[in-house]
Amino acid sequence: DILVNQIAAGEVVERPASVVKELVENALDAGALRVDIDLEEGGVRLIRIRDDGGGIPPEELPLAVQRHATSKIGSLDDLEAVATLGFRGEALPSIASVSRFSLISRREDEAHGSALEVEGGRVGDVTPRPHPRGTTVEVRDLFYNVPARRKFLRAERTELGHIEEWLRALALVRPDVELRISHNGKASRRYKGDEDLFSGARLVETVGREFADNALRIDHSAAGLRLHGWIAKPAYSRASADQQYLYVNGRAIRDRSVAHAVKQAFADVMYHGRQPAYVLFLELDPTRVDVNVHPAKHEVRFRDARLIHDFVYRTLHEALADTRA
């Protein structure tokens, strides 16, 4: 089973940023409003994620690191309507099979916290451990037992950059959650929680004042689709595609077709050859989009891709064309 988990880890865990993603998504699924992310050496030496969410009862700690024991999917119908970010029940077992792993948690109604350690997939016993309400997951020495994978890790700064970029994308869609990031013992970023998404405060914290000052607010619905967020006016166009954030039903994803629609709308208004900057949220009925295409859920498949492309194109073309008048 350790081997099965390590093979699954090959799909789920590419680098420290993928571990951070899975663990932070678990924290959010548990209702956390504050998440502390402590990193050492770009996350390779240590990733520690502490949340103030609901916690895990002691008797369920072993299940959390057991493959598919917690899968929220009972049928194909469930698969179409999952609301939580995680649903396969394989992230923790996978991560625990390729690291020195510990899980410490306390629910509100428990007298004390409980800990479970896993080393390279070998699961220890549940022991008492002080902990405030919520959960801490520690992942040390990622890929220490899989040298072939460890070899592909990049320089500390590169791995840290991937983590920070993912957290920035998250911060944009969850302004209600406070995120504190430290690296090698020094506070490196803090996104203050409790902000109204459309006040634009989180926009300044994440993509900067200049983008925010040039941002056109978008909010348009038609045919059961809603597109909202911001696209920067052509005056703030970019040389590279570094500020393009797209979310489908709250998940950060990459989608060529939607990205093309945005770029085309932008290019058709003005500034050929430049890249638009945007933070856009597409909302649609979950049954119209398959999120189960990619193990790390970076990509989705739309049932009616053409319709969505045209909706995005028309919405943005109209908004941008107005700026020209």
Give the interface with Mg ion as residue ranges (CB under 5 A).
26, 86, 91
Picked from Mg ion, ligand ADP, none, the partner binding residue 207 (CB below 5 to 8 A depending on kind) is: none
Q: How far is the CB of 81 from ligand ADP (least distance, A)?
A: 15
Nearest residue to the partner Mg ion, using Cβ: 86
Q: How far apart are CA 79 and CA 243, in angstroms?
A: 31
Q: Which does 89 bind (CB under 5 to 8 A by kind): ligand ADP, Mg ion, none?
A: ligand ADP
Helices (H), 13-136: 16-29, 61-64, 76-81, 91-97
* Residue 42 touches which of ligand ADP, Mg ion, none (Cβ within 5-8 Å per kind): none
Q: Which residue is nearest to ligand ADP (CB)?
A: 86
Residue 11 Cβ vs Mg ion, minimum distance, rounded to whole Å? 14
Residue showing tokens 């995680």: 86
**Binding site partner of 16, from ligand ADP, Mg ion, none, Cβ cut-off 5-8 A by kind:** none
Q: Please say whether the beta carbons of 136 and 105 come within 8 A.
A: yes
- Residue 17 CB, nearest approach to ligand ADP (Å): 16
Q: How far is the CB of 53 from Mg ion (least distance, A)?
A: 12
- Say how far apart CA 234 and CA 273 lie, in whole Å: 12
Q: How far apart are the first and last CA of the chain?
A: 63
Contact 70, 63 (CB under 8 A): yes
- The whole-angstrom distance between residue 172's C-alpha and the CA centroid of its chain comes to 10
Complex with ligand ADP: residue 130 or 147, whichever CB lies closer: 130
Q: How far is the CB of 72 from ligand ADP (least distance, A)?
A: 6
- Is 70 or 315 the residue whose CB approaches ligand ADP more closely? 70
Q: Least distance (Å) from Mg ion to the CB of residue 85?
A: 7
Give the nearest distance from C-beta 80 to ligand ADP in angstroms: 16
Distance CA 314, CA 264 (A): 10
Phi, psi (degrees; rounded to nearest 5) at 194: 65, 30
Instruction: List residues near ligand ADP by CB under 6 A.
Output: 22, 26-27, 29-30, 51, 53-56, 64, 70, 72, 86-92, 135
Q: Which is nearer to ligand ADP, 10 or 89 (CB)?
A: 89
Amino acid sitting at position 307: L
CB-based contacts of 67-73 (< 8 A; 24+ apart in sequence) = 67/1, 67/4, 67/5, 67/8, 67/93
Q: Hey, which residues does 191 pair with through a beta bridge?
A: 179
Instruction: Rank residues 60 and 213 by Cβ distance to ligand ADP and give the closer one.
Output: 60
Contact (CB, 8 A) for 121 and 6: yes
CB 247 within 8 A of CB 173: yes
64 binds, among Mg ion, ligand ADP, none (CB under 5 to 8 A by kind): ligand ADP
Shorter beta-carbon distance to ligand ADP: residue 100 or 107: 107
In angstroms, what is the minimal distance from the CB of 102 to ligand ADP? 12
Q: Which is nearer to Mg ion, 71 or 221 (CB)?
A: 71
Q: Which of 269, 194, 198 is nearest to 229 (CA)?
A: 198
Question: Is the Cβ of residue 114 or residue 206 nearer to ligand ADP in the bound state?
Answer: 114
Q: Which is nearer to Mg ion, 16 or 86 (CB)?
A: 86
Q: What angle, 0 to 180 degrees and rounded to 10, lies between the N-to-C axes of helices 305-324 and 256-269? A: 30
Q: Find where tokens 């970010």 sit.
A: 85
Q: Which segments within 113-214 are labelled E, that is strand? A: 114-119, 122-123, 127-128, 134-140, 178-183, 186-191
